[in-house]
């Protein structure tokens, strides 16, 4: 009689265990691959969303750069216009300043006092003149100091004229320096 052993042997059990373990490993690896694919898909979608947002921001940045360029252009135009306005104001002041200056100058010049030389270089004024007496020269200097058109008024010299000009005696020659401000006369405009 032949005896058959129906109890699985160790080798058969090992084979079955190995197959089960291999199946579990395959299921595990499949699960890990599925999770990795899912994560990859999720990350890819996130990257695409971020890329769309970056593209939108870059498009908005380009729009803003054109706006910034326009703002810079407007600022330059504004600066240019303000410069022109300042130039016009300055020219207007210079246009009316000398007229008012000469009007006031004729008022502060005492009678029997004459100006023989009137030189102005870069707002520095040099006057030479003659007067019948010293008090008239003093009055003239005081009037210049009180005027808004003059500053730094200084009497440089006074001397007796060698030739007789007047029946009362010899005239006195004088020299005066001052700084001129033509804008002082345009303040009342």
Q: What percent of the chain has pLDDT over 70?
A: 88
Indicate whether this model's pTM tops 0.75. no
User: Which conformational region is residue 21 in: left (phi greater than 0), alpha (psi within -120 to 50 degrees), or beta?
Assistant: alpha
Ranking 4-8, 38-42, 103-107, 131-135 by mean pLDDT, the lowest is 4-8
**169 Cβ neighbours under 8 A, 6+ residues apart:** 132
Give the other-Cβ count within 10 Å of 11's Cβ. Answer: 8
- Mean pLDDT, the chain, rounded, equals 86
Domain boundaries, the chain: 58-108, 112-181
Closest by CA to 149, choosing from 187, 114, 176, 95, is 187
Cβ pair 180, 120 in contact under 8 A: yes
Give the other-Cβ count within 10 Å of 130's Cβ. Answer: 19
Q: Does domain 112-181 have CATH number 3.30.70?
A: no
- Give the model confidence (pLDDT) of 92-133 as tens digits: 766 666 777 788 888 888 888 999 999 988 889 899 999 988
Structure token pair of residue 179? 């700084």
């Amino acid at each position: 009689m032949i005896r058959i052993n129906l109890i699985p042997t160790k080798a058969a059990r090992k084979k079955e265990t190995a197959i089960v373990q291999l199946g579990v490993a395959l299921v595990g690896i499949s699960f890990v691959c599925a999770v990795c694919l899912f994560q990859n898909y999720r990350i890819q979608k996130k990257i695409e969303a971020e890329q769309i947002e970056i593209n939108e921001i870059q498009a908005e940045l380009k729009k803003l750069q054109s706006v910034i360029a326009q703002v810079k252009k407007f600022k330059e135009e504004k600066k240019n216009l303000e410069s022109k306005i300042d130039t016009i104001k300055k020219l207007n002041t210079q246009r009316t300043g000398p007229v008012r200056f000469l009007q006031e100058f004729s008022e502060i010049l005492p009678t029997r006092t004459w100006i023989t030389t009137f030189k102005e270089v870069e707002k520095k004024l040099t006057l030479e003149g003659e007067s019948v007496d010293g008090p008239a020269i003093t009055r003239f200097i005081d009037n210049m100091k009180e005027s808004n058109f003059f500053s730094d008024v200084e009497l440089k010299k006074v001397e007796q004229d060698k030739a007789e000009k007047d029946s009362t005696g010899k005239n006195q020659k004088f020299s005066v320096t001052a700084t001129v401000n033509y804008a002082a006369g345009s303040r009342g405009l």
